[in-house]
Structure 1
Amino acid sequence: MNSVRPRILIVGAGWAGFILSQQLDDSKYDITIIAPHQTFAYTPLLASAATGLFFSRLAEEPIRRAHRRMTYYRALATAADLDQKSVTCIPSILQPSGRDIPDANHPFTVEYDVLIIAPGCVNQTFNTPGATDYCFFLKTVPDAEAIKAKLLSLLEVASLPTTSPERAKELLHIAVVGGGPTGVELSAELTDLFSEMSKTYPHLAGLPSITIHDVAPEILGVFHQKLKAYALRSFKKHGVEVKTNSHIEKIEEDALYTKEDGRIPAGMVAWATGNKQCDFVESLHGLSKATRLGRILTDQRLRALKEDQSVLENVYALGDAADIFGNGLPTTAEVAVQKAEYLVNTLNRHSSKPASPFVYKQRRMVAYVGGTDGVIMGRQDWTGEAAWLAWRSGSLGWTRSWRRAGMIMASWAWNFIGGREIARK
């Protein structure tokens, strides 16, 4: 290892990578972070940001910190030489639109002593024709801003004197693909938005609609049966249509096609289902990987395993890109956070004794279903306004700074007084 400070290279700045980048001992390690965005997104807050509950900048944190000694490269990792301990990267160039373009013409190499693989997953569209071109996703702050801008555009186009009521109804139909927590909470936030917008756009009252499509027989698959049934009743009360066993065949700019119903006009299709590994994880050969999702398999101490199940020293993997051999865990923020905090403690501790194995502690699971209503699964199952309040307070719990939490609370207060706005950026 380096005679000065061991070089830790962190690939990715999602929940796992960001916590590691901010909490590893920078007096003990020479820390480098590779990530394609200069901010970390609070993913549980993105649906709220996309529907104008608060400014989208409150749903992200900068990776660079004045008080942190570390190196950050806005780049994509493309390949790794695990024998030579180096990672090849290409710059990720920020465009005026807020999107990124990889620059394959200027690759560079970063060497390491300890490698931490945590790039997260990317959207899985299952090769559905048109999905990549026409769907809106919700993994980053630019994604949330794109949804917000699209919603505003739809409301304004529907308000034009040249738009018939029939066409306005089609434009204001939002189709959400995916009945997991992300799709459900986005649908709930859209319900609240359209309810409030009836005051600003009274001429459009009764025209907006929301439909959830899921190929599974039920939404919120991991929740208890009675909570699923409650969520369905709540959505029905708020006018949200839920189509389970719905097979998406293709997406067009103004419609989606399902095997069951054919062409369904929609002003926006939000894709909130499916994950797959990024190209970097797929490029890593010689590692043991799970059959499902291709996640890197690790031991109980989060050390990457070779194909023969032996440990690859000084290479760790966590977050959505990894799973523990023989102890599969879901791809959730809670799992990533707990693994990151475990690895921080492991690497920062000054002890020659091996760290204890990682043990995941299941927290309560919360989903918002709109109209100050929600469901919570834990030691006790909750529903109704109490669950909604727990969800709102839980949203603040995800933030990593009091300043940001205070600004979000102030936004909620202003929205309560004067209503939310989606026109402001």
Structure 2
Amino acid sequence: MNCFRSKIVIIGAGWAGFILSQQLNDTTYDITIIAPHQTFAYTPLLASAATGLFFSRLAEEPIRRAHRRTTYYRALATAADFTKQTVTCIPSVLQPSGRDVPDAEHPFTIEYEILIIAPGCVNQTFDTPGAAEHCFFLKTVPDAEAIKAKILSLLEVASLPTTTPERAKELLHVAVVGGGPTGVELSAELTDLFNEMSKTYPHLAGIPSITIHDVAPEILGVFHEKLKVHALQSFKKHDVEVKTNSHIEKIEEGALYTKEDGRISAGMVAWATGNKQCDFVDSLPGISRAARLGRILTDQRLRTLKEDQTVLENVYALGDAADIFGKSLPTTAEGQITVAVQKAEYLVKTLNRHPALPAKPFVYKQRRMVAYVGGTDGVIMGRQDWTGEAAWLAWRSGSLGWTRSWRRKGMIMASWAWNFIGGREIARK
């Protein structure tokens, strides 16, 4: 056993931070993880979890492990001193509601020998009035739970004898802001859910509606043209309205306002577009940043660069918060996950071998991109483009592929089987 383990501090437990926390050699390193949630979320599974396809807890993994010699602090990093090699943090306190509240009254400081910056990004609302207060987001399991609870509540309110058909139609209109893979897949999952719920709520059959709003001229912007066309045709078949070139002006309880259409009633507005850097990344002094999104720039060995492009020793950055100087890597939700995973696996190999030994530069390997569009239909962009049921099956199997444990894979597959036999837990046959 190594009695002189180098102290590694990992900021963040998203795709990059979680893989590092679980795979770095804990006999070589004294590993400390700083993250505001004690679980890691399988973000590609959150849309399914939000619509009751399986229990939400199957879309996350605990950071703590009985067999891992690591230290975990449920906290937010607020500042870093690269000269003193310290990180300042404040606790993130879990509330009975399931949400977290930063405790700025009790800061603490942690020393490091190697610092890994991977806090991810936060929701970008572009300062749209009312968005932060009234929209539903989809970054964490509590977010997925909130969407599911809201949908169930809307169905019950719409079922009351005091609710007119016109009001029921307003309540059961879901507006999804964002036509990227996240917004598209959430819309597709909601379509499937409403189809199933029509059997549990036959008096509401045909009333729920979904609209996708995107400021861009088309949805799924990075996909090939024929795949975008297929997605639009599939949504049209499932009565999902797609509004492109739609400029959101403000959100209020029960409605959103667009420049083109004015006030649009909606029982729920889901915000699935835009990321920005967290306050911690914005606060870091003397580092090189990308012009777009303000990401930390690194060299090809993932070492953080100073403003003069020299290497900041023993400080690495990866995940959504970082990019490689002079490289253009995918920035879509699924692409970012793939980059984060590949970078994390690269850094695990580098550090487990020895950080002082020369390492080959990181090389990104392009993977196919997948999106679900509802009703056992999907689109895949890769060496060959796929659509239809084959793409849907690939998307479903890909969902399992994202999970990092066989336990989760088995439980999700069992949920799918039970759903097929008896319906979703929230829409039993």
Q: How does 1:144-159 map to 2 (within 5 A)?
A: 144-159=144-159
1:422 equivalent in structure 2: 426
Counterpart position of 1:26: 26
Letter of the structure 2 residue corresponding to residue 144 of structure 1: A
Instruction: Read off the aligned partner of 1:408 and give its amino acid letter.
Output: I
In structure 2, C-alpha distance between the alignment counterparts of 1:352 and 1:276, rounded to whole Å:
33
RMSD: 1.2
Structure 1 position 422, deviation (Å): 3.0
Shift of 1:225: 0.5
CA deviation digits over 1:266-312, x for unaligned, max 9? 00000000000000000001000011111000000000000000010
Residue of structure 1 in register with 2:190 after alignment: 190
Quote the Cα distance in structure 2 between the aligned partners of 1:249 and 1:136.
17
State whether residues 319 and 336 of structure 1, in contact with CA within 8 Å, keep that contact through their aligned partners in structure 2: yes
Q: What residue identity is the alignment partner of 2:263?
A: R
How far off is 1:351 after superposition? Answer: 8.2
What residue in structure 2 maps to residue 140 of structure 1? 140
> Could you tell me how far 1:353 is from its partner in structure 2?
3.8
Give the aligned residue type for 2:72. Y
User: TM-score of the superposition, structure 2-length normalised?
Assistant: 0.97
Matched residue of 1:357: which SS?
A: coil
User: Does 2:321 align with 1:338?
Assistant: no
In the alignment, the residues of structure 2 paired with residue 422 and residue 316 of structure 1 have an alpha-carbon distance, to the nearest angstrom, of 44
Tell whether the 8 Å contact from 2:120 to 2:277 is kept in structure 1 after alignment. yes
Residue 348 in structure 1 maps to residue 352 in structure 2: yes
Which residue is equivalent to 2:15?
Answer: 15
- State the Cα distance separating 1:330 from its structure 2 match: 2.5
- SS of structure 2 residue aligned to 1:151: helix
CA shift, 1:349, in A, is 1.0
Q: Is the 8 A contact 1:121 1:275 kept in 2?
A: yes
2:263 aligns with: 263
Residue 72 of structure 2: SS of its match in structure 1? strand
Alignment of 1:204-283 (within 5 A): 204-283=204-283
CA contact (8 A) 1:44 1:395 kept: yes
Number of the residue aligned with 1:122: 122
2:302 corresponds to 1:302: yes
Mapped pair 1:36 → 2:41: no
**Aligned residues of 2:200 and 2:427 also touching (Cα < 8 A):** no
Report the alpha carbon displacement of residue 421 of structure 1 after superposing the two structures with TM: 2.7
- Amino acid in structure 1 at the alignment position of 2:201: Y
1:350 CA drift (Å):
4.7
Is the 2:196–2:427 contact (alpha carbons within 8 Å) kept by the matching residues of 1?
no
Over 4 Å off, 4+ runs:
none
1:40-59 aligned at under 5 Å gives the runs 40-59=40-59
- For residues 95-151 of structure 1, what are the alpha-carbon distances to aligned partners after superposition, in whole Å with 9 as ceiling and x for unaligned? 011100000000000000000000000000000000000000000000000000000
Residues 386-419 of structure 1, C-alpha deviation per residue, up to 9 Å, x if partnerless?
Answer: 0000000000000011111100001001111111
- Report if aligned partners of 1:148, 1:422 keep a CA contact under 8 Å in 2: no
Following the alignment from structure 2 to structure 1, what is the Cα–Cα distance between the partners of residues 9 and 355? 22
What's the CA shift string for 1:4-37, capped at 9, x where partnerless? 1110000000000000000000000000000000
Q: Give aligned-pair identity as a percent.
A: 87
Amino acid at match of 1:305: L
Aligned to 2:323: 323
Superposed CA deviations along residues 66-99 of structure 1, whole A, max 9, x for unmatched, are 0000000000000000110000000000001110
Rounded Cα–Cα distance in structure 2 between residues aligned with 1:17 and 1:180: 24
Residue by residue over 1:28-71, the C-alpha shift from the partner in whole angstroms, topping out at 9 and shown as x without a partner, is 00000000000000000000000000000000000000000000
Report the counterpart of residue 387 of structure 1 in structure 2. Answer: 391
Unaligned runs of 5+ in 1: none
Q: How many Å separate the matches in 2 of 1:161 and 1:267?
A: 18
CA distance in 1, matches of 2:310, 2:116: 17
In the alignment, residue 76 of structure 2 is paired with which amino acid? L
Query: Do the aligned partners of residues 351 and 151 (structure 1) sit closer, same or farther apart at CA in structure 2, a change above 3 Å counting?
Result: closer
SS of 2:33's equivalent? strand
Which among 369, 372, 390 is matched to residue 368 of structure 1?
372
Aligned length: 423
Q: Distance in 2 between matches of 1:351 and 1:403?
A: 32
Give the SS at the match of 1:115. strand
Determine the structure 2 residue equivalent to 1:286.
Answer: 286
Q: Which residue of 2 aligns with 1:173?
A: 173
Q: Which amino acid aligns with 2:8?
A: I
1:423 to partner: Cα distance: 7.7
CA distance in structure 1 between the partners assigned to 2:60 and 2:168 by the alignment: 34
Normalized against structure 1, the TM-score is what? 0.98
Cα distance in 2 for residues equivalent to 1:293 and 1:63: 28
Shift of residue 352 of structure 1?
Answer: 5.8
Amino acid at match of 1:356: K
Q: Cα deviation per residue 1:226-285 (whole Å; 9 max; x = unaligned)?
A: 100100000000000000000000001100000000000000000000000000000001
Displacement of 1:329 in angstroms is 1.4
* Counterpart Cα distance in 1 of 2:425 and 2:28: 46
Cα gap change, 1:299/1:352 in structure 2, threshold over 3 Å: closer, same or farther? closer
**Residue aligned with 1:27, SS:** coil
The whole-number CA distance in structure 1 between the counterparts of 2:269 and 2:330 is: 25
Letter of the structure 1 residue corresponding to residue 60 of structure 2: E
